[in-house]
Amino acid sequence: MSASPSNPPTRGRPRDPGLEDRVFDAAMSLYAEGGWAALTFEAVARESGVGKSSLYRRWDSREALLKNALEARWLPVDTIDSGTLRADLRELAEMIFSNRTGKLANLEYWFGIDAARHPEVRKVTTPYMQETVLEARAIARRAIRRGEAPRSLDAGLLMDLVVGAVNNHVMTTPRRLRAEMMRKAPSFLDRLVDVVLRGVGAEEP
């Protein structure tokens, strides 16, 4: 029976729908553990269970793989848009907290080191981080358009207040208090957002 255009014959192995997920998870985990030196195609293939030939067919370089992995797994700020400034800031604060305390917590440590040593890493991470900052500031601009925040609101300062406070809270908490910090995280994040909103003169919609 001849195949119709909408149902073409397949050749070789069927496409693995979970391949990219496994590869991205492996790439991020390896980078968090050892930075650029640890992110090799051999290591990703071993960690993900995906053959190197399949990796090379999809990504022609480690830079391309790192770029796609970041876009798929790291700080998806562009997904935050609940319709209220309070909910958006709360989601952002929780996202930052989870990233700083989760299994990928060392990513930014390695970004700083590798970007200084390897131009190819800097070429990937710099525009990604710049775009993330713009996406975060868009939260404030949407709030201004909705009338929740004064037009004089400094979007960069608002993000510094939220992100900076979360980072400082995680970094300065002693290891012996880590479990308590995790337990109290929801309450801390709620109070942080409340304080920031009052400080910038934001109103409930």
pLDDT tens-digit profile of 156-180? 999 999 999 999 999 999 999 999 9
Helix (H, G, I), strand (E, B) or coil at 29: helix
Number of C-beta neighbours around residue 8 at 10 A: 8
List C-alpha distances in Å: 36 to 72, 116, 124, 141.
18, 12, 12, 35
Which pair of structure tokens corresponds to residue 175? 């290891």
Fold of 19-71: Arc Repressor Mutant, subunit A (1.10.10)
d(CA 7, CA 21): 26
* From-to residues of CATH 1.10.10.60 in the chain: 19-71
Q: Over the stretch 121-136, which tens digit does the pLDDT of each residue have?
A: 999 999 999 999 999 9
State residue 205's pLDDT score: 63
* From-to residues of CATH 1.10.357.10 in the chain: 75-200
- Write out the CATH class of domain 75-200: mainly alpha
DSSP track, 81-92: --SSHHHHHHHH
pTM, entire model: 0.85
